[in-house]
Amino acid sequence: MGERSRGATPIDSGRVIYGLTAAIAWGTSAVFATYAARRSGAFLTVLIGQVLGLVLLLTLTAVLRPSFSAVHGSVAVGLVACGVIGLLGYLTFYRALEEGPVGLVSAIGATYGGVTAVLAVLFLGESLGTTGAWGVALAVGGVTMAASRSSGGRVPAIAADEPLVGIAVVPQGTTRYSSAGISFALASALAYGVGGFLLGDFSGRAGWLTATVVARLASMVVLLAVLPFLGRRPSTWRGAGAGFWWALTAGATDVVGICAFARGGQVGQLAVTAAVSSVYPVIPVVAGMLLFGERLGPRQAIGVALIVVGLVLLGLVS
């Protein structure tokens, strides 16, 4: 991989802006997805969001008319793999949002930025320099601390044996966590990290919109193919529409984040775009305190400070 030279490309403010745009969009999407997943279940939330996202991307394609001539051979295979791995990330992340506090789940999911950055350095030859490396490390580490929490927070309980694609039946007044949410969040971080690396890399070869559309088409084909096997009994889908509008909003904001991320990967320095975009849990942390009763402790405050310092260091590299 790596048909283009990225080695010592200087970091400019534009690439940071792409990452911040993705962070704001994904942070907002995580909040909406939390409402949707806890009302309609992870699978329906993903399905609704993916369909809406594809419609928006195809509309944008009709307007901008990007070239698809580069989508063949290894590029086509890589983008299909990106879509499938990304779909796994969505399913596990939204499932984690069903079961755990939005701040903690988002923090674990945000470690995808570190996965993508490491892969970009290893396989694309990107170099951040000492200052940039410290900025990445502090930003990603700060995200983790900012959204970490002690026990005692409250979130609607989901049965530990509830399947990945079901409708969450939440007893009123229940306030326990499921440990399965942590495992799902870790899986989503790995899937998002690898998928983000592939999307960023192949965006530079095929174009950001072309890469995003092909990857989303691949994920939709797989999603629809497995739908008959992952379906539930009709009675268990009752009330599934409760989170419909939340899922639509989550899907729309998610697409904005994906387009910004892909564009950042196309212009270069995928590691920077990934690291900056991974600050998105700051929004769920604040939303968690205001909307879900999650408390900000000393570790969260330190984490926010580390994020700010990390972004400043990334800006100094330009």
More reliable by pLDDT, 202 or 274: 202
Higher confidence at residue 16 or residue 89? 89
Q: Which two tokens stand for residue 293?
A: 């009763």
Give the Cα separation of 87 and 83 in Å (integer): 6
> How distant, in Å, are the alpha carbons of 86, 92, 108, 190 from that of 89?
5, 5, 12, 8
- Looking at per-residue pLDDT, the higher value among 246 and 318 belongs to 246
Q: What is the mean pLDDT of the chain?
A: 78
What pLDDT was estimated at residue 235?
44
User: Which position has the higher pLDDT, 86 or 294?
Assistant: 86
Q: Place 21 in a pLDDT band, splitting at 50, 70 and 90.
A: very high
Weakest-pLDDT range from 23-27, 128-132, 225-229: 128-132
Task: Say what the pLDDT of residue 3 is.
Answer: 46
Question: Would you kindly state where each structural domain of the chain is located, as residue ranges?
Answer: 13-316
pLDDT for position 32: 95
pLDDT tens track for 152-172: 444 444 333 334 443 333 333
Which pLDDT band, with edges at 50, 70 and 90, does 315 fall under? Answer: low
d(CA 234, CA 227): 14
How high is the pLDDT of residue 54?
A: 94
User: Three-state SS string across the chain, please?
Assistant: CCCCCCCCCCCCHHHHHHHHHHHHHHHHHHHHHHHHHHHHCHHHHHHHHHHHHHHHHHHHHHHHCCCCCCCCHHHHHHHHHHHHHHHHHHHHHHHHHHHCCHHHHHHHHHCHHHHHHHHHHHHHCCCCHHHHHHHHHHHHHHHHHHCCCCCCCCCCCCCCCCCCCCCCCCCCCCCCCCCHHHHHHHHHHHHHHHHHHHHHHHHHHHCHHHHHHHHHHHHHHHHHHHHHHHCCCHHHHCCHHHHHHHHHHHHHHHHHHHHHHHHHHHHCCHHHHHHHHCCCCHHHHHHHHHHCCCCCCHHHHHHHHHHHHHHHHHHHCC
Q: What is the pLDDT of residues 48-58, one digit of tens each?
A: 999 999 999 99
**For the ranges 202-211, 257-266, 281-290, the one whose mean pLDDT is highest:** 202-211
Give the pLDDT score at 13.
59
pLDDT at 166 (0 to 100): 39
Q: What is the pLDDT of residue 264?
A: 82
CB 281 within 8 A of CB 27: yes
Name the pLDDT band for 140 (thresholds 50, 70, 90): confident
What span, in angstroms and rounded, lies between the C-alpha atoms of 50 and 7?
A: 34
pTM of structure: 0.78
For residue 116, the one-letter residue type is T
Report pLDDT for 313.
74
The band of 183, judged by pLDDT with boundaries at 50, 70 and 90, is confident
